[in-house]
A and B are shown apart, each in its own frame.
Chain A
Amino acid sequence: MDFSFTPDQTLLKNSARAFLDEHCKPATVRLLWDDARGESESMWKEMAQLGWLGLSLPEEHGGSGLGMVESALLLEELGRAAYPGPFWPTMLAAAAVTDHGTEVQKKRWLGAIATGEARAALALLDADLDWNPDAVATRADKTSTGWQLTGLKRYVAWGHVASVLLVPARTPDGVSLFLVEPGASGIRWTPMMNMDPGTRLADLTLDRVPVRSDDLLGAPGAAAPALHQLLRRGAVGAAAEMLGAARRCLDMAVGYAKVREQFGQPIGSFQAIRHKCADMLLETENSHSAVYYAAWALDAGAEDAGTATSIAKSYVGDASRKVCGEAIQVHGGIGFTWEYDLHMYFKRAKALEAQYGDADFHRELILADVAG
């Protein structure tokens, strides 16, 4: 029983922290918030050089073959920096291609992703906003050369910079997965503004979008297990990112409480503030336990891996919102200003709360798992 990180894992975490402290400063994030594209091409290339984009990819396709624990470590640091960009959706799509793709599909996408040439986006939600893979309503009809997709996909993150979209759609055999070109005919994008400008979302209307039969990922009608696995990984990664945001806010709140004086003394000496900070630490440490237990469970194929991922997502979603929110409260008025950095992490955590299944969705999965 060992809940601590290996020296290699600690090294990865420390080097990620060092890189992001230098290349993804709050000022950098602010510039990207105002940028039309919203993510940095040069940072992406550097992430590729650091091996982050291939971290979890198989070695034969230019990756390092590492697991969810390593991805979570990296994502915690990215969350701590409020990094804006398509890192995690790209990694999740790459994992789906790794697990279910043909050799041709793997060759086409995995190397390009590891080297930073390609990005991917996920179009998981349909019009009725149900995260359950069985609820997919977008239709895939057979044509002479492959398929054509028709439907509405909502809140697709980073589709505007993606080279490929992972799109679940319903065929006569059931829900299937398709690799779709973002610029294909019949696709209409409607960008929208999230309260977190570091998460770029758009609705995607598909009107008889042609997809070649080679771009079906896995067998027709067999996408549900792949989508469940994708949601599990997605949920743990989002939880890790939220944990990073919470840790940043906790650090900022404690640092501020030590130096900000009112009534002739540091506000951290008042129990009202100190107890708040203690509660924030408790939530952050419990979140750490939840994230890394779930990440380990996924890597180890533990019996309770599914439940653990839902626990991590629902618990850390609540906890990070509370911790980041209370950090604003500890700061008072300055914490509510645009110029102070706290809101970046608060908004990032909030945006992730609604991704890869919200807390209500995951609590239902937990109960169905343990109680039927």
Chain B
Amino acid sequence: MDLNYSADDRAFREKTRRWLEANTPTDDLKTLAERKAWHRKLYEAGYVGMLWPKEYGGWGATAMQQAIVQDEMARIGAPPAINGLGIGFIGPTIIVHGTEAQKQRYLKKMLTAEEIWCQLYSEPNAGSDLAGLKTRAEDAGDHFVVNGQKIWTSSGPIADWGILLCRTDPKAAKHKGISCVLLNMRQPGVEVRPLKQITGHSLFSEVFMTNARADKSDLIGKLDEGWAIAQTTLGYERGGNSLGRVTRYAIAFRQLVRATKQLRRNGRPLIEDPVVRAKMGRLYAELEVQRYAGLRVLSALNKGDSPGAASSITKLSYTEFEKRYYDTALEILGPWGQMMTAREEFEEIDTSSGEAGTWATAFLWARAGTIYSGSSEIQKNIIGERVLGLPKEVRADRLRS
């Protein structure tokens, strides 16, 4: 047991920090072109696609190195890379399940953000119960004709391609007859309508497919065997953000300390109120425990252990903590914490979405974490069944099939 960073990791951190200090844009990135240019620069420096194999344009780095890059980016407040879903989930899926032609066609442009990707999984009636999806792909010789609706699609309006789960055999049992196919988003049969979120932003959208075309050469894996592929896609979390995430919490905590030194209640600064102090002491303890847990995950990854279903514990832990964190911060900050526009004395903070905002936007954003990528309830089912070995529940859809 040695929780010091290795000499190599320290040197890598130092090098990364120097690069970011010299290259991080000083102005906000406003256009997609500016964000793509920054992404490209990060990629060429070796800071995007770090875990991808070199033969597909990646850098073959360690999980620890990736975590260090994310940590340093959070520390300096660098804008994030784009195409996160593509690089984090979709690309690795193509690497594992795709054909050589698909790899050659898609992977490099995904890494460089020349093509932006989205994930077409959830539907209005298939959320946690994803296998209940109804989007239909009918065989039309060399291609599929796709009809249906997807929802909660991040990056929808800017996406060039999507990874689509669709039903290719409507007569088969629920988890069978689903296929995974790559869909060109830039075609007349695909319509993207942005959804306005509770934060007022529009980072996700609805996608309507009306006689859209997907080439059969873009089928991932075998026909009707897409469900297994979707399961691996959902399992690709590799701890890469486990340090950066906590650094953002820690930066926000320092801002909370400054705010409670400025704000006064009952004739004294908030931070002198013992009730406020107890709440803040608890928050700091919880955020540090997230860091310790992150180090434990990285240590296991370093040794080549795959966290598997245990990564559900990590996701459950930090998303639930985030809600408690911003709940408590707003409790402490009172009406001041609810402002949606930053006042002069009130610094912007990093929200869990990675976008800058006020405490209020962070508070609202925290509601998303326990819903996306498998809700807390789904994570607890996974932990119960696959980590603790508790018996499966009796489910009506299983009884039918």
From B277, B278, B384, give the contact of A274 (CB < 8 A): B384
Select from chain A the residue with minimum beta-carbon distance to B64: A1
What is the minimal beta-carbon distance from A58 to any residue of chain B, in angstroms? 21
Write the nearest CB–CB distance from B256 to chain A, whole angstroms.
9
The answer to whether B1 and A2 have CB atoms under 8 Å apart is: yes
Does B266 sit within 8 A of A, measured CB to CB? no
Cα separation A275 to B387 with both chains bound (whole Å): 12
In the complex, chain A residues whose CB is within 8 Å of the CB of B222:
none
A275 to B390 alpha-carbon distance, docked (Å): 10
Determine whether the beta carbon of A311 is less than 8 Å from that of B1: no
Does chain B have a CB within 8 A of A104?
Answer: no
B294 CB, nearest partner CB in chain A, Å = 9
Check B271 for interface membership: any CB of A closer than 8 A: yes
Instruction: With CB as the reference atom, state the residue of chain A lying closest to B317.
Output: A282
Q: CB within 8 Å of B: which of A256-286?
A: 257-258, 265-266, 268-271, 273-275, 277-279, 281-282, 285-286
Q: With an 8 A cutoff between CB atoms, is B381 at the interface? A: yes
Q: CB distance B380 to A286 under 8 Å?
A: no
Contact partner, B394, options A3, A265, A315, Cβ 8 Å:
A265
A289 and B299 alpha carbons, distance in the complex (Å): 12
Bound-state CA distance A60–B208 (Å) is 77
**8 A Cβ contacts from A234-272 to B:** 254, 257-258, 265-266, 268-271
Contacts of A257 in B (CB 8 A): 390
Whole-angstrom distance between the alpha carbons of A69 and B252 in the complex? 31
Contact in complex: A278, B296 (CB < 8 Å): no
Interface string of B281-304 (1 = CB under 8 A from A): 110111011001101101110110
**Interface presence of A327 (CB below 8 A):** no
The reply to whether A282 and B313 form a contact with Cβ atoms under 8 Å apart is yes
Chain B: minimal CB distance from A305 (Å): 11
A346 proximal to B (CB < 8 A): no
Given the interface pairs A293-B3, A296-B3, A360-B278, the reply to whether A275 lies near B313 with Cβ below 8 Å is: no
Complex Cα–Cα for A138 and B133 (A): 72
Given the complex, which residues of A lie within 8 Å of B389, measured CB to CB?
A: 254, 258
Question: How far is it, in angstroms, between the C-alpha of A371 and the C-alpha of B302 when the chains are bound?
Answer: 34
A88 nearest CB across to chain B (Å): 21
Q: Does A366 contact B (CB under 8 A)?
A: yes
CB-CB nearest in chain A for B320:
A282
**Closest residue on chain A to residue B281 by CB atoms:** A363
Contact (Cβ within 8 A) A290 B388: no
**B1, B300, B390, B393 — most chain A CB neighbours (10 Å):** B1
Q: Enumerate chain B residues within 8 angstroms of A127, measured Cβ to Cβ.
A: none
A281 touching B1 by the CB < 8 A rule? no
Q: Does B129 reach chain A (CB closer than 8 Å)?
A: no
> In the complex, which residue of chain A has the Cβ closest to the Cβ of B376?
A275
User: In the assembly, what is the distance between CA of A285 and CA of B317, in Å?
Assistant: 10
Contact of B384 among A5, A268, A293, A362 (CB under 8 A): A268
Interface residues of A in 100-156 (CB under 8 A from B): none
B363-390: CB near A (< 8 Å → 1, else 0) gives 0000000000000010111011101111
Report which residue of B64, B381, B388 has the largest number of chain A beta carbons within 10 angstroms of its beta carbon: B388
Measured in the bound complex, the distance between the Cα atoms of B248 and A316 in whole Å is: 24
Q: A73 to B5: give the CA distance in the assembly, Å.
A: 23
- Residues B1 and A296 in contact, CB atoms below 8 Å apart: yes
Write out the residue numbers on chain B whose beta carbons fall within 8 Å of the beta carbon of A290.
288-289, 292
Taking a contact as CB atoms under 8 Å apart, the answer to whether B289 and A314 are in contact is no
Which residue of A9, A274, A293, A370 is within 8 Å of B380 (Cβ)?
A274
Q: Which chain A positions have C-beta within 8 A of B64?
A: 1
Question: Would you call A286 and B298 a contact (CB within 8 A)?
Answer: no
The minimal Cβ–Cβ distance linking B216 to chain A, given in whole angstroms, is 40
With known contacts A278-B316, A278-B380, A3–B296 Cβ distance under 8 A: yes
* Residue among B281, B282, B284 with max Cβ neighbours from chain A (10 Å): B281
Say whether B14 faces chain A, with CB atoms less than 8 Å apart.
no
Q: How many angstroms from the CA of A277 to the CA of B381 in the assembled complex? A: 10
Cβ distance B92 to chain A, nearest Cβ, rounded Å: 24
* Bound-complex Cα distance A297 to B1 (A): 11
Instruction: Identify the closest chain B residue to A279 (Cβ).
Output: B380
Contact in complex: A275, B377 (CB < 8 Å): yes
How many interface residues does chain A have, given as a range?
Answer: 35 or more
- Residues of B in contact (CB 8 Å), total 50
Partner of A269, one of B299, B303, B394: B394
A contact face: mostly helix, strand, loop, or mixed: helix
In the complex, chain A residues whose CB is within 8 Å of the CB of B300: 3-4
Is A293 a contact of B388 with CB atoms below 8 Å?
no
- Distance in Å from the Cβ of B397 to the closest Cβ of chain A? 15
- A42 in the interface, Cβ–Cβ < 8 Å? no
For residue A221, give the distance in angstroms from its CB to the closest CB of chain B: 29
Q: Which of A1-56 contact B (CB under 8 A)?
A: 1-6, 9
With both beta carbons as reference points, the residue of chain A lying nearest to B321 in the complex is identified as A286
Within 8 Å of chain A (Cβ to Cβ): is B4?
Answer: yes
B285-A278 in contact (CB<8A) = no
What 0/1 readout, one digit per residue, does chain B (106-117) give for beta carbons within 8 Å of chain A? 000000000000
**CB distance A366 to B391 under 8 Å?**
no
Q: Is B285 a contact of A314 with CB atoms below 8 Å?
A: yes
A3 x B384 contact (CB < 8 A): no
**B230 interface residue per 8 A CB criterion:** no
Per the bound structure, the CA–CA distance linking A315 and B292 in Å amounts to 12
Complex Cα distance, B296 from A324, in Å, reads 24
Residue contact B271 to A1, C-beta cutoff 8 Å: no
Partner of A5, one of B1, B277, B289, B317: B1
The answer to whether A364 touches B278 (Cβ under 8 A) is yes
Residue of B nearest to A70 (CB): B1
B31 contacts the other chain (CB 8 A): no
**B257 within 8 Å of A (CB atoms):** yes
Which residue in chain A gives the minimum CB-CB distance to B302? Answer: A1
Contact of A281 among B271, B278, B299, B388 (CB under 8 A): B388
Interface contact A278-B1, CB-CB below 8 Å: no
Distance in angstroms between the alpha carbons of A315 and B207 in the assembled complex: 44
The CA-CA distance from A1 to B291 in the complex, in Å, is 13
With a cutoff of 8 Å between Cβ atoms, the chain A residues found around residue B278 in the complex are: 360, 363-364
Q: Which of A270, A277, A310, A364 contacts B388 (CB 8 A)?
A: A277
In the complex with contacts A266-B391, A274-B380, A314-B282, A1-B295 CB distance below 8 A: yes
**Which residues on B sit within 8 Å (CB–CB) of A362?**
281
Q: Which of A265, A274, A360 contacts B381 (CB 8 A)?
A: A274
Q: Does A300 contact B (CB under 8 A)?
A: yes
Q: How far is the CA of A273 from the CA of B380 in the complex (A)?
A: 10
Query: Nearest chain B CB to A71's CB is how many angstroms away?
Result: 13
Assess the A1–B2 pair: CB atoms within 8 A. yes
User: Which one of B6, B289, B381, B384 lies within 8 Å of A286 (CB-CB)?
Assistant: B289
Cross-chain contact B1 with A6 (CB below 8 angstroms): yes
Give 5 pairs: A residue, B residue, CB < 8 Å, sorted on A: A4-B299, A278-B384, A300-B3, A315-B286, A367-B281
14 new A-B contacts at CB < 8 Å, known A371-B257, A371-B280: A1-B64, A3-B295, A3-B296, A4-B303, A265-B394, A269-B394, A286-B289, A286-B293, A289-B289, A293-B3, A296-B1, A363-B281, A365-B281, A370-B284
Pairs of residues from A and B, 9 with the lowest C-beta to C-beta distance, nearest first: A363-B281, A274-B384, A3-B299, A268-B390, A278-B380, A289-B292, A278-B383, A367-B281, A293-B292
